[in-house]
Structure 1
Amino acid sequence: MNMDFVVKALPEPQTVIIQLIATLVLLGVLAKFLYKPVLEMLEKRKQGIEDNINEAKEKKEDAISLKSQYEQKIDDAKKEGQEIIETSKKRGEELREQIVTEAKEEANKIVERARREIEAERQKATEELKEEVVTIAMMAASKVVDKNLDEGSHREMIDKFINEVGEKQWQN
């Protein structure tokens, strides 16, 4: 092979130095203008991601807390519903007992009123029977005695007799 070609393909040393300096200057300029902004952008991005992660954790904790609160509220609502049912049952039982008691009292009043009415009817019947007995006795007495006593004194005499003698028999 020809070595001349290889030597001519190599750059001259000053070109290499200039390229090296140009590269270093380019790296310096890139570092000053691009490296720091890129690092800041990456740092902001990293901070944003961390913030999002922290926010997601907080939201998860809030969701867990809300879930617990809702579960507690559901349990409380169930207990309250059960208490309402129990209260309603007790109130219903109290109303039933009150109605039964009132019905018994009303029945007792009706029975007592019926007894009073029966007693009044019995008294009335007794009085009517006495009146009839007096009338019959007066008729019989006037036929037997065959004298006409005045009706008032005759009635008074018969009433006195019935009251003294017959009162015990009328009660039985």
Structure 2
Amino acid sequence: MQISLPQIIAAIVNFFVLLAILKVFLYKPVFNMLEARKAEIDQNLSEAERAREEAGELKRQYEVELKEANTKAQAIINEATELGEKNRTDLIAEARAEITRLNERAKADIARETEQAAQRLKAEVANIAIDAAESVLKREVSQAEHEQVLDQFIAEEISAGIAK
């Protein structure tokens, strides 16, 4: 087998034609596909990084909002506690005032009832004295009878006062 120059030139030309055909139909689409894939991967990575940063920012915002909510909740609890304490104090003061009013009214009622009882007793004593005087005037009474009537009158008044 002999190698001739036209065969070598034909082989070289065939090689370059094959190289040109491969470059046009194989390498360019494969490289374009690889470039597109690389661009897609870069885009996905940048989107993932942006999403991670957004998630970090959202987390920081949620932490701030959570702290604010906890602060507000504690303030509301403190305010409710203070309001409850104030209401309790007010209720105690009102109850004490009501007890004082009731106590004063009871004292006034007792004084009025005592006064009325004293007036009834005076009227009753006067009636009894008049009745006793009538019975004494109807007859002559000796000193002993007078003392006996007086003792009887006092005993009747005491027993009547106890019975009431």
TM-score, structure 1 length as denominator? Answer: 0.72
User: Counterparts of 1:112-131 in structure 2 under 5 Å?
Assistant: 112-131=104-123
Structure 2 gap ranges (5+): 139-164
* Separation (CA, whole Å) in 2 of partners of 1:36 and 1:15: 29
How far apart are residue 89 of structure 1 and its match?
0.4
Aligned twin of 1:106: 98
Q: Give the structure 2 partner of residue 85 of structure 1.
A: 77
Further displaced range: 117-126 or 34-43: 34-43
Q: Which residue of 1 aligns with 2:134?
A: 142
Cα offset, 1:140, TM superposition = 4.3
Give the structure-2-normalised TM-score.
0.75
Q: Distance in 2 between matches of 1:110 and 1:82?
A: 41
Amino acid aligned to 1:62: E
Structure 2 CA distance, aligned partners of 1:55 and 1:80?
36
Deviation per CA, 1:97-147, whole angstroms, max 9, x where unpaired? 121012112201210111111111111121122112312332344356x27
Residue number among 22, 28, 46 corresponding to 1:36 in the alignment = 28
Confirm whether residue 95 of structure 1 aligns to residue 95 of structure 2.
no
- Look up the equivalent residue of 2:131 and give its one-letter code: M
38-47 vs 20-29, which deviates more?
A: 38-47
- Check if 1:74 corresponds to 2:71: no
Matched AA of 2:115: Q
Larger mean CA deviation between 21-30 and 98-107 belongs to 98-107
Aligned to 2:153: none
Q: Which has the higher contact order (CA 8 A, sep 6+)?
A: 2
Aligned length: 138
Q: How many Å apart are 1:65 and its aligned residue?
A: 1.6
**Cα distance in structure 2, aligned partners of 1:115 and 1:92:** 34
Structure 1 unmatched ranges of 5 or more: 1-7, 148-172
Q: What's the CA shift for 1:39?
A: 2.2
